[in-house]
Amino acid sequence: MEQQRAVEGDADNLTVDQLAARAGVTVRTVRFYSTRGLLPPPTIGPRRVGRYGPDHLSRLALIEELQNQGMTLAAIERYLQRLPDDMSPHDLAIHRAMVASWMPDTVDEATRDQLEQRVGRELTDDDLERLTAMSVLEGTEDPALFRVDPTLLHLGVRLLDMPLSQDTILAAREAMMEHARSAARELSRLFKDEVWQPYREREADPDQVARMKSLSAHMQPMVVQALMTAFQRSLREELQGAFPKEHPPHPSDGQVSP
C-alpha cells in the first residue's frame, strides 16, 4: 500500500499533471485558472517544479460545482474573492457540499481507469464492491463501465481507508439518512402548515402564489446551511461529552470530502 501511494503521489506534493488528473480537468485548465487568480500559486520544489496540495484540489472541486450552477468565470472570480483567505481544504469541502446540496442529482459514467485517475489511487475489486455497497457506484450492462455519484465519490474513497467495517459504514449512512429524512419531513410540514397554507388562504392572486413558490426554492440553500451548522455543533458537543478528560477528535480528523 505504501509503495502504491508513493508511486501515485502524495496529495500534498502533486505535480500539475497529477493535480489535473485527480481533479478531472486538463493541465491547460489548471494553468488558466492560476493565471486568473482562481487558484493559489503552487509551492516551488526542487528544479523549480510547482507542487500542489489539498487546497488546490478543493478549490478546483468548488469551481466545478459553481460552473454546474451556471455561474460565469467572472462571477466565480468574484465569488472566490469573497471567501476568507484562511479557509482550509476542509472548510472548502464543506462549502462545496453546501453548493452541491441544492443542485439537481447528477450521475457520471466512468471506467475503472478513469475512476482511479479521478481519485488518485488504485481501486481493488474489494474497493469497487464496497463503493457499490455505499451507493457511490452502480454497475452497468458493460462490466467495464460504472455509474458514479460524483458528490459521493471522494467521500466513499476516503472511507475505504478508515478503520471501520463495511457494516459500520452502512449503519452510519442509514442513521444519517433516517434522521435527514425526518428533519426534511418536519421542516416541509412546518413550511406548508405555517407559511404556505395561510398565505394561500389570504392571497388568491396567481402572481403571489408564484412568488411564494420562488421563495420556497430559495429557502433550500439557507435550510441546508442551517442544518449543517447545527449538525457540526451537535457533533462537537457529543464528542466533548464522549471524551471529557481528553482532547476530543475534531470532526475534520480523517476528514471526508462531499
In this structure, of 4-18, 57-71, 130-144, 187-201, the range with the lowest mean pLDDT score is 4-18
Q: Is the predicted pLDDT of residue 257 greater than 60, yes or no?
A: no
Helix H or strand E encompassing 173: helix 166-191
Q: Is the predicted pLDDT of residue 255 greater than 50, yes or no?
A: no
Q: Is the predicted pLDDT of residue 4 greater than 50, yes or no?
A: no
How far apart are the C-alpha atoms of 219 and 238, rounded to whole Å? 28
Q: At 183, is the pLDDT very low, low, confident or very high (cuts 50, 70, 90)?
A: confident
Query: pLDDT exceeding 90 applies to what percent of the chain?
Result: 8
Q: Is the predicted pLDDT of residue 9 greater than 80, yes or no?
A: no
Mean pLDDT of 206-231: 65
The string of pLDDT tens digits covering residues 93-135 is 766 666 655 555 566 788 998 888 877 788 999 899 889 888 8
What was the pLDDT predicted at 49?
Answer: 82
The string of pLDDT tens digits covering residues 66-97 is 877 667 888 888 888 877 777 777 777 766 66
Q: At 29, is the pLDDT very low, low, confident or very high (cuts 50, 70, 90)?
A: very high
Q: Give the residue from 171, 166, 164 showing the smallest Cα distance to 130.
A: 166
Collect all residues with Cβ–Cβ distance below 8 Å to 48 and sequence separation of at least 6. none
Mean pLDDT of 195-199: 67
Cell of 105: 442529482
Q: Give the residue from 227, 184, 229 showing the smallest Cα distance to 91.
A: 229
What was the pLDDT predicted at 207?
Answer: 63
Q: Is the predicted pLDDT of residue 52 greater than 80, yes or no?
A: yes
Q: Assess contact for 140 and 147: CB atoms under 8 A.
A: yes
Q: N- to C-terminal Cα distance for the chain? A: 24
- Grid look-up 477528535 returns 249
Question: Which own/partner contact pairs does 11-17 have at CB distance under 8 Å and 24+ positions apart?
Answer: 11/53, 11/54, 11/57, 11/120, 12/53, 12/54, 13/45, 13/51, 13/53, 14/51, 14/52, 14/53, 14/56, 14/57, 15/49, 15/50, 15/51, 15/52, 16/42, 16/50, 16/52
How far apart are the C-alpha atoms of 200 and 202, rounded to whole Å? 5
What's the alpha-carbon Rg for the chain, to the nearest Å?
21
Q: Is the predicted pLDDT of residue 25 greater than 70, yes or no?
A: yes
The string of pLDDT tens digits covering residues 148-162 is 887 778 778 878 888
Q: Is 69 left (phi over 0), alpha (psi -120 to 50) or beta?
A: alpha
0.75 cut: is pTM over it? Answer: no
Q: 3-class DSSP state for residue 107?
A: coil
What was the pLDDT predicted at 144?
Answer: 87
Cell of 253: 480528523
Residue length of the chain: 258
Cell of 255: 476528514
What was the pLDDT predicted at 30?
Answer: 92
